[in-house]
Amino acid sequence: MTLYDKLMNWPTPEIRQDLSARDTMLYALGVGLGADPLDERQLRFVYEKNLVALPTMAVVLAYPGFWMGDPAVGVNWKKILHGEQGIVIHKPIPASGRLIGRSRVTQIVDKGADKGAIVFSDRDILMEETGEKIATLTGASFLRGDGGHGGGDARWTQPAPEPHALPARAPDVVCDLPTLPQAALIYRLSGDYNPLHAEPAVAVAGGFKAPILHGLCTLGVAGHAILRAMCDYDPTRLKSLKLRFSSPVYPGETIRTEMWKDGGVVSFRARVVERDVVVLNNGHATVA
């Protein structure tokens, strides 16, 4: 069996999660909600009275873990990068409840021996009691060290989907949101304990000057900006979101989300103000 056949058929376990109100509040605090404790629009995401969940919290729900790090899979996990992430919201994310996560690999694109491969995957999040699907997550991982394993098989050489093109005009709305110096230490408590985001020595060994913010935390900050600027903090209005990760963020930096609105479509990208570096790109969201 080739590596790619193994990836396509890997038995990713079904995950069950008891989501608590505490989990919901902790996630919201991790992506910066509650920065203004007097803003009651933010307070409803971080306070148990009339608690509601952020739509972007879907990314941390019923997560199967870093299964590609299992030596039996056979990929060079140290050279894996999170390339893309998408969220489709089918029902409002609950503030608490028993959830099921079902993950699968959907496509592999072999870019060549010296160019790596892209693994696309989906995860459905369902309410255990009713079987209702509340969200579908789509992701792409860039395997920098595992190109060329497809052996020219046509299944693995299909082109990757084109990214969403941003409008050529100036952004319609810009939203600056600062991150805390300890943002990664808070966000990791939502389930991603990769030491790259906590230990200075690990970060330096990985080529960074300091621990970096989780890419999915940066996504959450951009989601907050869209919720604030385009949805008046109504989480039921954000229906989907998809983006590409382009550069890391260091905790304490300010994330500027630039948005273009065309009907129910919001195109967006995010950059770090202090370094003028684009960190999220080709963003596409739909709002009601």
State phi, psi for 261 to the nearest 5 degrees. -110, 125
By the 10 Å C-beta count (0-12 exposed, 13-18 middle, 19+ buried), 158 is classed as: exposed
Cα–Cα distance, 219 to 84 (Å, whole number): 10
**Is 116 assigned a catalytic role?**
no
Q: Name which of 113, 161, 125 is nearest 140 in CA terms.
A: 161
Q: Which residues, 6 or more positions from 276, have their beta carbon under 8 angstroms from its beta carbon?
A: none
Q: Is the separation of the CB atoms in 90 and 135 below 8 Å? A: yes
**Options 23, 83, 197, 283, the catalytic residue:** 197
Strands 116-127 and 238-245: unpaired
**Is 125 assigned a catalytic role?**
no
**Is 65 assigned a catalytic role?**
no
**Options 212, 220, 224, 226, the catalytic residue:** 212
Q: Two tokens at 88?
A: 């489709």
Residue type, 14: E
**Is 192 assigned a catalytic role?**
yes
**Options 139, 150, 192, 220, the catalytic residue:** 192
* Helices (H) then strands (E): counts for the chain: 6, 10
**Options 147, 215, 223, 283, the catalytic residue:** 215
- List active site positions: 192, 197, 212, 215
